[in-house]
Structure 1
Amino acid sequence: MWYNTKATALLGIDYPILQGPFGGGFSSAELVSVVSNAGGLGGYGAYTLSPQEIYEADRQIKAATGKPYNLNLWVSDTDAPGGTVSDEQFELARQTFKPYFDEAGIPLPEKPGPFKPRFENQLQAVLDIRPKVFSFMFGTLPEDVMEQCRRLGIKTMGAATTLDEAMALEKTGVDLIIASGFEAGGHRPSFLASSEASVTGTFVLLQLIREKVSTPVIAAGGIANGRGIAAALTLGADAAQVGTAFLACDESNALPVHRRMLFSNAARYTTLTRAYTGRLGRGLANRITQDLLGKEKQFLPFPLQSMFLSPLRNAALGQEKWDMALFWGGQIAPVLKHTRAGELMRSLVEETTAYFNGLKA
C-alpha cells in the first residue's frame, strides 16, 4: 500500500503525512494530538518557548495522545552579531516604519536590549522529554547532539532548501530530510546560502535530493490534498508535510482572522518578505510588503525586526487594519477546503488512496 514507506516505519505512524510544526505561537497541543491520533505525525514548533514552556506544551500533548509526535526547534535563532545592532541601523529602521506606526497611532519602540540565543537551553528540554521525533531548521546539529539523540531513541529530521543543505544534513546522520520548497508558508529555513538564493520548488528539490542522497526525504511546500501527497510519493518522497492546510484548521493556534484570511481571496496573493521578522518568509501580500519591496537593507536582522514590529502588528490586528498585518500562508492556500483537522486528515488519506487505487484499476 502507498502508506507503507520508510518514513512510516521509522516514525512509527500509520500514514506518511506530517503536520508542519508552526513556531511563533501558532502550534497547539490539540492540533498535534488530532493529527497523531489519526495516524499522521503531529508537529509542535517550540523555537520561541522557554524550556519550562516546552515542558508544559509536551505535558499537554502527552495528555491528549499516546502516539508519536514531533517537537521542532531552530538551530540558529539570531542573525544579529552580538544580539544587537548599531544605533544608526536602528534609527534607519525607525524612520522606514515611522509612517505605519503614525497611522496606527502608536509610538515608535525604543531600541531593544541584546538578544541572547536560546537554542542550547531549549535543546536540553527536548533531550529531557525524549520525543519520538525531533525536527530542526536553520542548520545542522553537532555530532555529540546527534549521538545523544540516537542513544535516547529520538528520530531526527532536518530541513533543507537546497541539494547542498540536504547533503550536509545527510553527513550528520539525520534519520530524515525535509525538502522545503519555496511554495511553503512561513520562514525559509536556509542555512548554507541566502534564502533569496535558495528558492527551488518542492518537486524539483525533491528530485534533486533523491538523485544524490540516500536518506529518506519528506516533501514540504505546496501540498494540501491527496493529489499533492500522491505526486510527492510518486516522485520519490517517503512522506509529505502539510503546513498551511493545517494552520487554517480551527485546532491551530492561529487567530480566527488569520484562519479566515487563508480562505479568502487575499490568499491568492502571497509573497516572500523580510519586513516583519528580518528573515525571509512567505505570507499573504499586504501594503507594507509591497511598499517596502527592495528596501531590505533598512530592516533589522532577525529576531530584532520581529521584536521591533510586534507593537505595530498588535495595533494593526486590534484596529482591523488587515493591510498592515502579516498572515503567514503558502501558495497552496486557494485550494483549502477543510476547517477541522480530523476532516482534513481523513480527506488526505481517502484522496491519496483513491488516486493509487485508480492507477491499479
Structure 2
Amino acid sequence: MRDVSHLPPALRGLRLPLLGAPMFIVSGPELVIAQCKAGIVGSFPALNAREGKGEPAQLDKWLTRITEELDRHNQANPDHPAAPFAVNQIVHRSNGRLERDLEICARHKVPIWITSLGARAEVNEAAHGCGGIVLHDVINNTFARKAIEKGADGLIAVAAGAGGHAGKQSPFALVEEIRDWFDGPLILSGAIATGRALLAARVAGADLGYTGSPFIATDEANAPARYKEMIVTGSAEDIVTSSLFTGVSGNYLRESIKAAGLDPDNLSTGQAATMNFGSGSSKAWTDIWGAGQGIGVVKAISRAADLIARIEEEYRAAARKIASEFIR
C-alpha cells in the first residue's frame, strides 16, 4: 500500500495521485466537477469566474454549484466519493480582485488553495483559517524555500515542458533539489500526460502529478473548438516558449501565435513589469493559447472521465512492469 501519512487529508484517498491543473479560460465548473467525480483533484483559476459590472460575484456562484453537485454525488455514491477541489489564486499585486476572492473562498471553505506568482503569508493564513491547505507554484528551489517560509503547506514544482507559465529546469533536477530539504507535499508539473509520466514523477520523488493540457481536449473544457483541435493534432514541436504575452516565460501553441498574425520564431521579449491581472486590463492575447509539451499523446477529444481512466490504466500497467523487474 502507498504510504500517504505525510500528506494532508485533502490529498489522500484519491483514485490517482493526480491534480488537474487550473487553466486560463479553459477550467470551469463543468471540468472541475467531472475531474472530482472521476477521483482526482479538479481546479480552476478564481479569475476565470467573471461577471459583468454590477452583477453578483460569479466566483460565489461557481463555488456554490461545485460544492452542491459534489455533495449530491457523495450522498449517492458513499463508496466512491468525489475528490476535493482547488481554486487557484493569482497573488500578483496587479490582481485587484484578490482580497474579495479570498473572502469568497474562505466563506465556502475551499479545501485546497493553489497560489501563483508570489508567496504571501496573509493568503496562506486565509486558507488555514477556513481549514484549507495551500500549494504554491514554484519554478526553482529559491522560490520553493520562500514559499514554505511564508506558510505554504506544499509545493507545485513547475518544470520544463509545462503549459502556461512554465519553468526552465529539468523535473529531475528541480525535484531533487527540493527533496533535499523538504519532505512535505510535492506535486510535479511538466508534460505529465500519460500514466507512465505520472509514475515517473512518483519515482522521481513527487507525491502527485499535475496535468493540464490533455484536459483541454475534453468535452467539459471551456475551450474553443479550434483550441481543442490544436491539442489533438499538435506535438511537442508545436510548443513555443515566449515572455511576450504576459511578461513571464510561458509555453504556447505555435498555430495560435500564427493565427494572431505573429511569427512564432521571431517574437519580441516581454517584461515582467507589464504583467497585469487587473479586472480592467485589456486581455490583448486571449487567442494565444497555452499548452505543454505533452500534447503529442492526445489523439482525440474525450470525456474527462475517459481521459482519467486511460491515465489510470497506463499508470498501473507501467507500475506492474517496473515492479516485475525487481521480483526474484
Number of the residue aligned with 2:28? 28
The Cα offsets for residues 108-135 of structure 1, whole Å up to 9 and x where unpaired, read as xxxxxxxx72211111111111111111
Structure 2 counterpart of 1:175, one-letter code: D
3-state SS, counterpart of residue 332 of structure 1: helix
TM-score normalised to structure 2 length = 0.82
1:48 shift after superposition: 4.5
Alignment-derived partner of residue 258 in structure 1: 227
Name the count of aligned residue pairs: 300
Aligned counterpart, 1:72: 88
**Paired residues of 1:20 and 1:241 also in contact (CA < 8 A):** yes
The alignment status of 1:138 with 2:117, answered yes or no, reads: yes
Corresponding residue SS for 1:263 = helix
Q: Which runs of 5+ in 2 are unaligned?
A: 51-55, 72-81
Conserved 8 A contact 1:18-1:239 = yes
What are the residue-to-residue correspondences of 1:63-102 with 2, within 5 Å? 63-66=68-71, 67=82, 68-76=84-92, 78=94
| Partners of 2:246 and 2:270 within 8 A in 1 | no
Residue 313 of structure 2: SS of its match in structure 1? helix
Amino acid in structure 2 at the alignment position of 1:257: R
> Which residue of structure 2 lines up, in the alignment, with residue 221 of structure 1?
190
Structure 1: runs of 5+ lacking an equivalent: 79-115, 189-197, 314-324
Describe the shift of the 1:8–1:170 C-alpha distance in structure 2 as closer, same or farther (beyond 3 A): closer
Counterpart of 1:281 in structure 2 is 250
1:279–1:128 Cα change, 3 Å: same
With the length of structure 1 as denominator, give the TM-score of the two structures. 0.75
Q: 1:351 aligns with which of 305, 314, 319?
A: 314
Q: Which residue does the alignment assign to 1:241?
A: 210
> What amino acid is the match of 1:357?
R
What does 1:104-183 align with in structure 2 at a 5 Å threshold? 117-142=96-121, 144-183=122-161
Shift of 1:16: 1.2
More helix by share: 1
Letter in 1 for 2:89: L
Contact 1:162/1:205 (CA < 8 Å) preserved in 2?
Answer: yes
- Which protein is bigger by CA-based radius of gyration? 1
Measure, in 1, the Cα distance between the counterparts of 2:172 and 2:312: 20
Q: 1:42 to 1:3 in 2, by over 3 A?
A: farther
Match of 1:39 in 2: 39
Match of 1:187 in 2: 165
Find the aligned partners of 1:187 and 1:133 in 2 and give their Cα distance: 20
- 1:172-226 deviation per Cα after TM superposition (whole angstroms, max 9, x unaligned): 23221100113111124xxxxxxxxx52132321122111222220001110010
Q: How much has 1:233 moved relative to structure 2?
A: 0.3
Task: Check whether the contact 1:217–1:237 (CA below 8 A) recurs between aligned residues.
Answer: yes
Q: Tell me if 1:58 matches 2:76.
A: no
AA of the residue aligned to 1:355:
A
- Separation in 2 of the partners of 1:72 and 1:64? 20
What is the identity percentage for the equivalent residue pairs of Structure 1 and Structure 2?
25
Q: How does 1:190-201 map to 2 (within 5 A)?
A: 199-201=168-170
* Whole-angstrom CA distance in 2 between matches of 1:260 and 1:240: 24
RMSD: 2.7
